[in-house]
Amino acid sequence: MNGILLVDKPRDWTSFDVAAKLKGLCKTRRIGHSGTLDPMATGLLVMFLGRATRAVPFAEEHDKRYFASLRPGLITDTQDVTGNVLAQHACAVTAAELEEALRAFRGEIAQVPPMYSAIRFNGRRLY
17 is catalytic: no
123 or 86, greater pLDDT? 86
In angstroms, the Cα distances linking 82 to 11, 12, 127 are 11, 10, 11
Are 119 and 126 contacting, i.e. CB atoms less than 8 angstroms apart?
yes
What are the φ and ψ backbone dihedral angles of 46, each rounded to 5 degrees?
Answer: -85, 115
pLDDT (tens digit, 9 = 90+) per residue, 20-52? 999 999 888 899 888 888 788 888 899 999 999
Q: Residue 67: CA atoms inside 13 Å, Cβ hemisphere, count?
A: 3
Instruction: Tell me which of 8, 12, 17, 38 is the catalytic residue.
Output: 38
What is the spatial distance between Cα 100 and Cα 21, in angstroms, rounded to a whole number?
Answer: 42
